[in-house]
Amino acid sequence: MRYILFQNATLLDCRSAEPRYPAWLLVEDNVIREISESPLKAPQGAITVDCKGKTLMPGLIDAHMHANLFSADLPGQTRQNLPSMIVIKCLEILEDTLLQGFTSVLDAGGIDAGFRDAQARGLIRAPRLQVCGHSLTQSGGHADPRLPTEITPPAEHYFAGGIVADGVDAVRKAAREELRKGVDYIKIMAAGGCASPADEPDTVQYSIEEMSAAVEAADAVGKIVLAHCYSPRSLRRCAEAGVKRVEHGNFMDRETALILKEKGILYCPTIATYDIMARRGEEFGIPSYFLRKMKIANERALEALAVAQEAGLVIGSGSDMVGPGQPFKANELELQSRVMGPAGALLAATKTNAEILGVIGRVGTLEPGKLADLLVIDGNPLENMAIFQDRNKIQIIMQDGKFIKKID
Ligand SMILES: [Zn+2]
């Protein structure tokens, strides 16, 4: 047995956002064995960590990221890089995401189940992963890699973007193919987007019948569909098609939020990506069409979150960071806290995300019996949600009982 005892901590277990002080937490191998508000005796040979003045909390979860999107010019990425380079960049981004304090993530379209399984087998340094594989998209849709001037895709290789599938039969087959390869979710593009050169965010994509075909294929094996969408119209069409989780939703209105609520549809906002691109996109060198659309989507992002919260939706936390935004995923917490308060934003990125991803039995809160995925923060996040953006303040990152980072 290997023991690590965290002592004198301010504990945010994220079952609630009520801090407990002082607290002791004992890790045995890769599992949290005991938590106590009175001193625990260190077992023989235990490593002790003094956490006085520091916060002990669960590892963060990003419920919407893209490990494969590293370039400022996303359509150009597959034109300029061989698949091997893209895989190497994916691994770099995954490791850096872990070092930002995210011990679990959902890749919302891009990487395949091999990355997930490699992490689970300890072959790569990465957050625990769930994957969607290729996103399903219509011709000219958000994940169609072609520019308006092109007929054939720029590259035939695996990372050339989404799978273009039109019509009920083709969508059903594409969904089944992704499921065959072991994905955890099916991701569909139900609206235009910002990074795609040939569409607009407030449009709708895919017919309800096409989306229903994807839902049916996923549901047949107990899985759900995640849909990329922005406008009330696209959100409602997703609801009608049986989609169980919607992403972004920046233009959501109250009536639509109530429909989502009634159908029990999960909502994952991704405000950080719009915020950083609106502020720094020019400096990052993103294409002008991308910058223009990100600014439009950014204007309404916090308002949509407020509407969703008022309607009582289950709200997760995603970053959707791409290209030069990748190092800044934790900005989502600070942005969401402006609407949901620090406690709300913190619980969204821990407990609620774990519930949404179906992993709450193992991670997302600090409780005896759960896996030892945890952070030691030099300070109190509830007093300063921007603290996660300062990597020096994240003094310890532990995943599965192992120190990923430890500043003494
Ligand atoms: Zn995304």
Q: DSSP state, 135?
A: P
Kindly state whether residues 11 and 115 are assigned to the same domain. Answer: no
The domain in which residue 398 lies consists of: 3-58+365-406
- Ligand 1 centroid, distance to 278 Cα (angstroms): 16
Per-residue pLDDT of 99-138, as tens digits, reads 999 999 999 999 999 999 999 999 999 999 999 999 999 9
pTM of the model: 0.97
Residue 354 lies in a domain: no
pLDDT at 151: 87
CA of 63 to the centre of ligand 1 (A): 10
186 and 123 fall within a common domain = yes
What residues in the chain have per-residue pLDDT under 70?
156-160
> Residue 328 and residue 224: Cα distance in Å, rounded?
28
Which of 303, 329, 355 lies at the terminal end of a domain, its last residue?
Answer: 329
State whether 130 and 240 are in the same domain: yes
| Partners of 34 in the β-ladder | 26
Per-residue model confidence (pLDDT) at position 148: 85
pLDDT of residue 156: 63
Q: Looking at the structure, tell me whether residues 176 and 260 fall in a common domain.
A: yes
* Shared domain check, 253 and 200: yes
In the reported structure, the alpha carbon of residue 365 is separated from the centroid of ligand 1 by a whole-number distance in angstroms of 25
Domain presence at residue 188: yes
Q: Is residue 360 part of a domain?
A: no
Collect residues with CB below 5 Å from ion ligand 1: 108, 320
275-285 burial, b for 16+ CB within 10 Å, e for fewer? Answer: bbbbeebeeee
In a 13 Å sphere around the CA of 226, the CA atoms on its Cβ side amount to 28
User: Which of 314, 329, 344 is the last residue before a domain boundary?
Assistant: 329
For residue range 137-159, list pLDDT tens digits in order: 999 999 988 888 888 887 766 66
Judgement on whether residues 377 and 280 belong to the same structural domain of the protein: no
Output the CA 109–ligand 1 centroid distance in Å: 7
345: in domain: no
Alpha-carbon distances, residue 115 vs 41, 314, 320 (angstroms): 39, 28, 18
> Residue 197: what pLDDT?
83
**Tokens describing residue 139:** 């011709």
Determine which helix (DSSP H) or strand (DSSP E) holds 367, and give its type and residue range: none
Note whether 177 and 316 are same-domain residues: yes
Does residue 187 sit within a domain? yes
**Is residue 183 a part of any domain in this protein?**
yes
Dist. CA 311 → ligand 1 center (Å): 23
Q: Measured in angstroms, how far is the CA atom of residue 332 from the centroid of ligand 1?
A: 14
Give the Å distance between the CA of 110 and the centre of ligand 1: 9
154 & 113 share domain: yes
pLDDT at 95: 98
Q: Residues 185, 132: contact at Cβ < 8 Å?
A: yes
CATH value at residue 19: 2.30.40.10
Do 53 and 68 have their domain in common?
no
348 in a domain, yes or no?
no
111 with 69, same domain? yes
Q: How far is the CA of 69 from the centre of ligand 1 (A)?
A: 10
How many domains are there within the chain?
Answer: 2
**Same-domain pairing of 299 and 262:** yes
66 Cα: distance to centroid of ligand 1 (angstroms): 6
In sign, the C-alpha dihedral spanning 154, 155, 158, 164 is positive
The Å distance, Cα 108 to ligand 1 centre, comes to 6
Inter-CA distances, 234 with 53, 148, 193, 280, 372, Å: 47, 23, 12, 28, 39
Residues 39 and 148 in one domain: no
CATH of the domain at 324: 3.20.20.140
